[in-house]
């Protein structure tokens, strides 16, 4: 008799996908950390993953540009998340653009199982093109939060990530303010014309 309400609530547990996107220096990781900390305050079981490629600040922690950090598990393949997840209520994934295309399947599978998925990542690469699996994640998500930075050239709203040097044409090139700038559409376009 006392088990029935509990079973009913487990069976009706609903999962969903939230995407936090924007350019570099917009506060995506800061917002991800904030949401994950709030879930922990609510006594939910939280698991956090990041791409093993992202070692800019720390090998295992997710670290924002403001130096806020939260422990995470680095993974080399998105399918590893399915293998490692154990009864989580909430799963956080940072820098989703660095993951393989299977991250979309992983997020959908976990959401179907009733898990709240919070994904953060760059929506565009340094060329201003959709980045990796981010467009698909945004399409299948229930909630998309696009965060803007401030243009480091003119001070307007920045939506693009500008790579200061195009000597390295690799799509993935880890860097910070020494390598990248947040720019508005106009300043980004002007900068790209100068580098052509």
Burial of 40 from C-beta contacts in 10 A (0-12 / 13-18 / 19+): middle
Asked if 73 and 83 touch (Cβ cutoff 8 Å), the reply is no
pLDDT at site 46: 96
Decide if 47 is catalytic. Answer: no
* Mean pLDDT (whole number) for 120-145: 96
CATH superfamily name and code, 13-148 = P-loop containing nucleotide triphosphate hydrolases (3.40.50.300)
Rounded to an integer, what distance in angstroms lies between the CA atom of residue 193 and that of residue 195? 5
Check 30, 95, 102, 142 and give the catalytic one: 95
Per-residue pLDDT tens over the stretch 13-72: 789 999 999 999 999 999 999 999 999 999 999 999 988 886 565 455 666 556 566 777
The predicted structure's pLDDT at residue 8: 42
pLDDT at residue number 166: 66
What radius of gyration, in Å, describes the C-alpha atoms of the chain? 18
Kindly tell me if the per-residue pLDDT of 12 is higher than 80. Answer: no
Buried b (16+ CB within 10 A) or exposed e, 145-173: bebbbbbbbeeeebbbbbbeeeeeeeeee
């Amino acid at each position: 008799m006392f088990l029935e309400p509990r079973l009913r609530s487990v069976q009706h547990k609903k999962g969903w996908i939230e995407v936090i996107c924007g350019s570099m220096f917009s506060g995506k990781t800061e917002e991800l950390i904030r949401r994950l900390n709030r879930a922990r305050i609510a006594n939910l079981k939280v698991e956090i993953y990041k791409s093993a490629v992202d070692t800019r600040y720390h090998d295992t922690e997710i670290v924002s540009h403001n130096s806020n950090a939260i422990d995470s598990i680095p993974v080399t393949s998105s399918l590893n998340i399915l293998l490692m997840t154990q009864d989580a209520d909430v799963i956080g994934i940072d820098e989703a653009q660095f993951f393989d295309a299977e991250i979309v399947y992983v997020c959908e599978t976990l959401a179907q199982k009733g898990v709240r998925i919070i994904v953060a990542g760059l929506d565009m690469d340094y060329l201003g093109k959709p980045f990796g699996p981010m467009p698909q994640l945004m399409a299948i998500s229930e909630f998309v939060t696009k965060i803007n930075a401030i243009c480091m050239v003119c001070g307007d709203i920045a939506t693009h990530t500008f790579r200061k040097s195009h000597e390295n044409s690799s799509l993935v090139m880890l860097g910070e303010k020494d390598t990248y700038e947040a720019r508005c559409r106009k300043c980004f376009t002007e900068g790209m014309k100068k580098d052509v």
